[in-house]
Amino acid sequence: MYLDKTSIVIVDDHSIVIEGLKSLLDGDPLDVLGHFTSGNEACDFIERERPDLVLLDINLPDVSGIDLCRKIKAMAPETKVLVLSNHNERNIIMQTLQNGANGYMLKNISKQGLLQGISAVMAGEIHFCNEIGGIISKPTKYELGDPPYLTKREKQILRMVADGETTQEIASRLNVSPLTIETHRRNLHHKFQVKNVAELIMVANKHQLL
Amino acid sequence: MYLDKTSIVIVDDHSIVIEGLKSLLDGDPLDVLGHFTSGNEACDFIERERPDLVLLDINLPDVSGIDLCRKIKAMAPETKVLVLSNHNERNIIMQTLQNGANGYMLKNISKQGLLQGISAVMAGEIHFCNEIGGIISKPTKYELGDPPYLTKREKQILRMVADGETTQEIASRLNVSPLTIETHRRNLHHKFQVKNVAELIMVANKHQLL
DNA sequence: ATAACAATACCCGACCAGAGGTATTTTCGA
DNA sequence: TCGAAAATACCTCTGGTCGGGTATTGTTAT
């Protein structure tokens, strides 16, 4: 490995995307050390090889890319993490940044955009592609904050509500009092700050909890 | 162009994916004639060049890949269309087939899977990757049929319901009787075959109507 | 022009959800 | 082991939803 080359690891569950990135990147000042379709394999390799940069997808089969980002930063703080994702939701972008990502770009990026992003990140900047910059700077009233923390029981009941089950039906399926389910439902409404089921299901969907 | 080579056109809005496919495919018996990130450009090229095969994404910036598939088949019936998509919803797969696609594969396909698919399609078969085969063969009760036809008013009211507005609120905002809104809501339930709001919002979301 | 569909409106009864409380028992991590 | 959090349960009252009808007026495409 030459000192003047930037060593790169690619993590993406689509081998087509990995091929595309390799063919776009593996050249002059860049060196693709390895590529992985699952988070855990990638984790071991990154800990050993300490690459300069990880190109990371959010949707992985085993662990969330957001968690993997935090792990990488804990193991190898000097390794830069540039997230490449299809998600343009504000809360997902924010979560990656809070977990140490050095940049976030959408996958419909051009070759130039990608190379610019990589050099920006390697120069120590936090870098976004244009669309993402716009999303971060204008938090609209329809954008989401952090998803609320839900207990196991609440998640379970949320799913049953989403399946169209009534309070009574849920209660008898879980062998508890309907009054208990009503309490859980009220707590869900408070946590999501909504006032009825329709809104509840909408925001739970936006938070990808269903 | 040699007679023994299969000429291919790639249509995908992600240049990374295009690069990946090119590097995986452009070799021995295959020849990538061209690649496009928008449907209309691709359309003109395909009409002129009559490739043997089009690798087609469903999500395009200008037209739906489903519509483009029908167009291609109308212009050049001998050209095979192999859809490469991230969607695994039954109704989307079915729509592409009804519009003439010769195969459907998920983008997390391996190189071998991709080459197998291409040769199967070129041999005249209708080909699916394994996951898709499973989805087609077992239509579960959670799978979607065709989305129901909704009138303007119904779409409008559906959106207002999804925003958490009650029947009374909707009625006064639209200056009609609450009883009218109740009728519309009941019609929505019948069209979607659901029995309450929670289910309504869920299936409307699955149909991407919200 | 006429049939089909959309939008409007009404009735009734049964049931469910929502908002506000309070309180007990269980579970689980520090 | 002890305290916090989770899960359970109850109360009241108001309002909303849901299911089954029927019926009148517009619209619109054939």
Give the pLDDT of residue A138. Answer: 55
Return the CATH class of domain B152-206. Answer: mainly alpha
Q: Where are the domains of chain A?
A: 6-137, 152-206
Q: With an 8 Å Cβ cutoff, is B21 touching chain A?
A: yes
- pLDDT (tens digit, 9 = 90+) per residue, A48-88? 889 999 999 988 876 778 778 888 888 888 899 999 988 87
Q: How far is the CA of A96 from the C1' of D25 (A)?
A: 56
Query: Is residue A186's beta carbon less than 7 angstroms from any atom in nucleic acid strand C?
Result: yes
Query: Is residue B184's beta carbon less than 7 angstroms from any atom in nucleic acid strand C?
Result: yes
The H or E element containing residue A6 is strand A6-11
Give the pLDDT of residue A148. Answer: 85
> How far, in whole angstroms, is CA B148 from its chain's centroid?
17
Establish how many alpha carbons lie within 13 A of residue A53's alpha carbon, considering only the half-sphere containing its beta carbon.
Answer: 26
Give the pLDDT of residue A43. Answer: 85
Tokens of B37: 């990130």
Query: Is residue A164's beta carbon less than 7 angstroms from any atom in nucleic acid strand D?
Result: no
Interface of B with A in 34-63 (CB under 8 A): 37
Q: What is the distance in angstroms between the Cα of A106 and the nearest Cα belonging to chain B?
A: 9
Amino acid whose CA is nearest the C1' of C9: B180
For residue A178, give the nucleotide whose C1' atom is nearest its CA: D9
**Residues of chain B whose pLDDT is less than 70?**
1-4, 28, 91, 136-145
Give the pLDDT of residue A143. Answer: 53
Give the pLDDT of residue B162. Answer: 93
CATH 1.20.1440.230 fits B6-137, yes or no: no
Give the pLDDT of residue A4. Answer: 65
Number of residues that this document lists for chain B: 210
Amino acid whose CA is nearest the C1' of C10: B179
User: Is there a contact between A164 and B111 if contact means CB atoms under 8 Å apart?
Assistant: no
Single pTM value for the model:
0.65
Chain B neighbors of A24, CB-CB under 8 A: 16, 19
Contact B57, B65 (CB under 8 A): yes
Q: With an 8 Å Cβ cutoff, is B111 touching chain A?
A: yes
Tokens of A175: 């062998």
The residues pairing with B127 across neighbouring beta strands, listed in sequence order, are: B103
Give Dmax over CA atoms of chain A in angstroms: 68
User: Is there a contact between A201 and B196 if contact means CB atoms under 8 Å apart?
Assistant: no
Q: What is the distance in angstroms between the Cα of A2 and the nearest Cα belonging to chain B?
A: 25
Give the pLDDT of residue B158. Answer: 94
> Among residues of chain B, what percentage have pLDDT more than 70?
92
Q: How far is the CA of B209 from the C1' of D14 (A)?
A: 33
Give the pLDDT of residue A178. Answer: 94
Residue B99 to residue B67: CA distance in whole angstroms: 8
Q: Which residues of A22-31 are buried (b: 16+ CB within 10 A; e: fewer)?
A: bbbbeeeebb
Q: How far is the CA of B152 from the C1' of D28 (A)?
A: 15
| Chunked mean pLDDT (size 10), chain A, 210 residues | 75 90 83 88 88 90 78 85 85 78 90 91 89 67 68 92 93 94 94 93 86
Give the pLDDT of residue A187. Answer: 93
Give the pLDDT of residue A137. Answer: 63
Q: Which residues contact B58 (CB under 8 A, 6 or more apart)?
A: B64, B65, B66, B83, B85, B86, B87, B92, B96
